[in-house]
Amino acid sequence: MRLSDADQDRIGAAIEVAERRTSGEIVCVVAHSSSDYLLYPVAWSVVSALATPWLLLAFTHLSIQRILLAQLIVFIVAYLILSAPAIRAHLVPHAVRRTEAHRAAMEQFFIRGLHRTRNRAAVLIFVSLEEHYARIVADEGIADKVDPQIWQGAVEAVLGGARADRLADGFIEAIDLCARVLADHFPPQNQQDLLPNRIFLI
């Protein structure tokens, strides 16, 4: 799933419109994946390679040199197969995938400078596609004023858009929902728009 240039323009325009209703800031980030998870193909390939000599010693009369060569081949082949994205995704426990996605969301919050706004009323809408994960990260200025569950509608909107292959529409709906919450507590004021009105693709 990818966002076309037109989709990105629509999301940027939606952020601009939404921020006219509030002195808060909204930033959107979509990640293809929150991690490469290469540790898991490597670990399983190592296990396979370590098991190879024992099997060959038990069932064959190969020389040590051939066994070592077979061990190397098993590692390389196993790694090439297991590192394929479709297979690698099944090697990683669900809890690990969620933890990595959460880490990536918090990392993006600070990388994009949402913690540096004057009124601390910035909101990040983060989606990691491979993990089927979405999160709203709100800075303390707005987070202290609303129940965390208030953002669930925005999370469901963007995830629903992703499932329906209408990711841009999901983001636009989530942006509108976040703007409503921000506008209730941080009405528009004469202040500079500090953060870019665009979606970041990582």
pLDDT, tens digit, 9 for 90 and up, residues 15-26: 999 999 999 999
Compute CA distances 166 → 6, 69, 75, 107, whole Å. 13, 49, 40, 26
Q: Which of these ranges, 89-93, 103-107, 162-166, 171-175, has the smallest mean pLDDT?
A: 89-93
Instruction: Give me 193's structure tokens.
Output: 């728009």
Per-residue pLDDT averaged across 125-132, rounded? 94
pLDDT, tens digit, 9 for 90 and up, residues 24-59: 999 999 999 888 888 899 999 999 999 999 999 888
Assign 123 to helix, strand or coil.
Answer: strand
Separation CA 27–CA 116 (nearest Å): 13
Residue 191 has pLDDT above 70, yes or no: no
Separation CA 27–CA 108 (nearest Å): 10
Higher pLDDT among residues 87 and 14, named by residue: 14
Q: Which CATH class is domain 5-35+93-201?
A: alpha beta
Residue 190 has pLDDT above 80, yes or no: no
- Among residues 16, 15, 28, which one has the least CA distance to residue 125? 28
pLDDT, tens digit, 9 for 90 and up, residues 112-122: 988 888 889 99
Q: What pLDDT is stored for residue 128 in this prediction?
A: 95
Tokens 């669900």 map to which residue?
A: 94
Ranges of CATH 3.10.310.50 domains, the chain: 5-35+93-201
